[in-house]
Amino acid sequence: MKKPTLDYLAAKTAQRITQVIGTDVKRQNKVAPKDVEILATKALGVLQAQGVYAMALFLLSRSGSESKATKMSVEERVACEIMAQLWPLRKPIEALEREASNSGAGGNGEIAYDRINEEKKHLLQEFADLTKDLDTLLLVRDLYEQTLVYARYGAKATKASEGTGSDGDRRASP
């Protein structure tokens, strides 16, 4: 049996992030590919410029306070999903071991999007603790960066496959 790589882990996590596309949110709206692309790009920019802890703060600042998807704005729902999917990767070795044992989804160390706002203090403390170990911090930063790049392009690919134009709200002609 082949062992999964960190790149594989980034790709699988990005795929899970893009699964939020099409979900219902407040005011009978749905999450669009462009919504994921925009927030993933912003989170990536914060990560690259300011680091892992700043990216966590950014996403949590965008997550609102609701726990039910139908009460969240599009941005809040996407922020919660990105944070929920990145969360297990803060411990990359454990995440690889879970993936290798085929218990990738729903395994220990994961958190559901609807619990993000209830657990903000705990999440921030864990991210602060992550900054104590430079090797792990750098590995996590690189893993998050790759995951967000994949999520961004995955959302773009979804948008292209749905036939939307570059402005995201027109259908391309057949």
Cα 126 to Cα 94: distance, rounded to the nearest angstrom: 15
CA dist., res. 157 & res. 11, Å (int):
14
> What b/e sequence results for 21-38 when a residue is b if at least 16 CB atoms lie within 10 Å of its CB, and e otherwise?
bebebbeeeebbbbbbbb
Mean pLDDT for the stretch of residues 150-172: 71
Per-chain mean pLDDT for the chain = 89
Give the number of C-alpha atoms closer than 13 A to the C-alpha of residue 108, restricted to the C-beta side: 7
Task: Enumerate domains of the chain plus CATH numbers.
Answer: 6-161 (1.10.520.30)
The per-residue pLDDT for range 23-66, each reduced to its tens digit, is 999 988 999 999 999 999 999 999 999 999 999 999 999 999 99
Q: Rounded to two decimals, what is the model's pTM? A: 0.87
Write out pLDDT tens, residues 163-172. Answer: 644 444 433 3
pLDDT number for residue 106:
47
